[in-house]
Amino acid sequence: MYFDDLPVGFTFETGSSTVSLEDIYEFAGKWDPQPFHIDPEAAKSSPYGRIIASGFHTITVAFVLILDSDIWTEASMGSPGMDNIGWIKPVYPGDTLRVTGEVLSAEPSASRPDRGRTRIRYKIYNQSDDQVAEFTGIHLLRRKQV
């Protein structure tokens, strides 16, 4: 789909993905080696009481689900940024995540007729339908050529 196919209020949902303990160790070992992500003993005395996924891991798992949903993937010209990332509840080993998206704004570029800027609010849920995280993506999307 193109920019023009995603009006304000358009909603969608992705597939799901399970985050294993090994996934958590692998991601956090490289990108976020804080004790509550990689050290089970230290995690016990952390505010979380056990191993939790890195918030960056949660966001990237969500982003892959979003890309795989093929809503805007083919039209993507990149992104100038993201807003309002919230890590609301911990993601634990074995949790299964899915994402919902809702288009908040869709503005055609004033200077470049081939593209528009679409802001999408993403919410990430676990297998118990608890919302664990959220973020707003800003996407540069190709317009239909008329």
Positions that interact with its own copies (CB under 8 A) = 30-34, 36, 46-48, 52, 55-56, 59-60, 63-64, 67, 73, 76-88, 140
Q: Which is nearer to its own copies, 5 or 32 (CB)?
A: 32
Q: Which is nearer to its own copies, 7 or 34 (CB)?
A: 34
Q: Which is nearer to its own copies, 2 or 56 (CB)?
A: 56
CB of 47 to its own copies, least distance (A): 5
**Contact status, residue 91 vs residue 21, Cβ threshold 8 Å:** no
CB of 126 to its own copies, least distance (A): 17
d(C-alpha 40, C-alpha 49), whole Å:
9
Q: Which is nearer to its own copies, 1 or 77 (CB)?
A: 77
d(C-alpha 146, C-alpha 139), whole Å:
21
CB of 13 to its own copies, least distance (A): 20
The tokens of 118 are what? 């679409």
**Contact status, residue 52 vs residue 28, Cβ threshold 8 Å:** no
SS3 124: strand
CB of 77 to its own copies, least distance (A): 5
d(C-alpha 130, C-alpha 97), whole Å:
10
